[in-house]
Amino acid sequence: MRVSEIRIAGFGGQGVILSAVVLGKAASIYENGFATMTQNFGPEARGGACSAQLVVSDAPVLYPYVTQADIMVILSQEAYNRFANELRPGGTLIIEEDLVRVLNLNRDKMVFSIPATRFAEELGKRMVLNSVMVGFFTAVTTLLSAEAVRKSVADSVPANFRELNLKAFEKGYEYGLTAKAGTPPELEEVSYLEE
């Protein structure tokens, strides 16, 4: 593990905060590293803007806020419009491909996309899209080991949803391995659109 600043953003109900908790727990508990997490969300119970900042490191984290994200996970267009310009040069952008259009992004970024919501719906519950995305994140960034994140997913969700969340994690992880190796047949290349 190395020092990494991560921002996860979307809207309430997508599991943004839980995703950050899972990744932070994987880093700090299951990989014996350090992590801090801060969160920000609107007053709405669901549907409002929501984001989490996560800093993971091999050493104690001295400043808990993301200054310039190394990795950004974006689950809504509003989140993309607000945060995409905060991704550092050479950073990694991970998007929910059915909900986010990449606009005016410098080509020095690595961009990975996944239909996480669609995969979650295929598994039977839209609410596990965050576990799909966490699996995808794990595969494409290789920041944390799959085993550590798998344990964290199992430890962070209610027991009656554990099996489903682990299936969702595996779906995202497998898709991510394919995306990392090359473009999967069903994954269209992310186009850089001009506004």
Q: Give the span between the Cα atoms of 2 and 8, in whole angstroms.
A: 18
pLDDT tens for residues 148-158? 999 999 999 99
Q: Give the span between the Cα atoms of 57 and 19, in whole angstroms.
A: 17
Q: Which pair of structure tokens corresponds to residue 116?
A: 């996480």
Whether the per-residue pLDDT at 42 is higher than 70: the answer is no
**Predicted local distance difference test score (pLDDT) of residue 192:** 45
Q: Give the span between the Cα atoms of 124 and 117, in whole angstroms.
A: 11
Neighbours of 157 (CB within 10 A): 23
List of residues 6+ apart from 63 with CB closer than 8 A = 55
Classified as helix, coil or strand, 164 is helix
**Predicted local distance difference test score (pLDDT) of residue 44:** 55
pLDDT tens for residues 51-92? 999 999 999 998 888 989 999 999 999 999 999 999 999 999
Choices 1.20.1260.10, 3.40.920.10, 3.30.300.30, 3.40.630.40: CATH for 4-181: 3.40.920.10
pLDDT category of residue 47 using cuts at 50, 70 and 90: low
**Predicted local distance difference test score (pLDDT) of residue 174:** 96
Torsion-angle region of residue 98: left (phi > 0), alpha (psi -120 to 50) or beta?
A: alpha
Q: For the chain, which residues make up each domain, given as ranges?
A: 4-181
pLDDT category of residue 194 using cuts at 50, 70 and 90: very low
pLDDT category of residue 184 using cuts at 50, 70 and 90: very low
Pairing of strands 49-57, 34-41: antiparallel
pLDDT category of residue 124 using cuts at 50, 70 and 90: very high
Whether the per-residue pLDDT at 45 is higher than 90: the answer is no
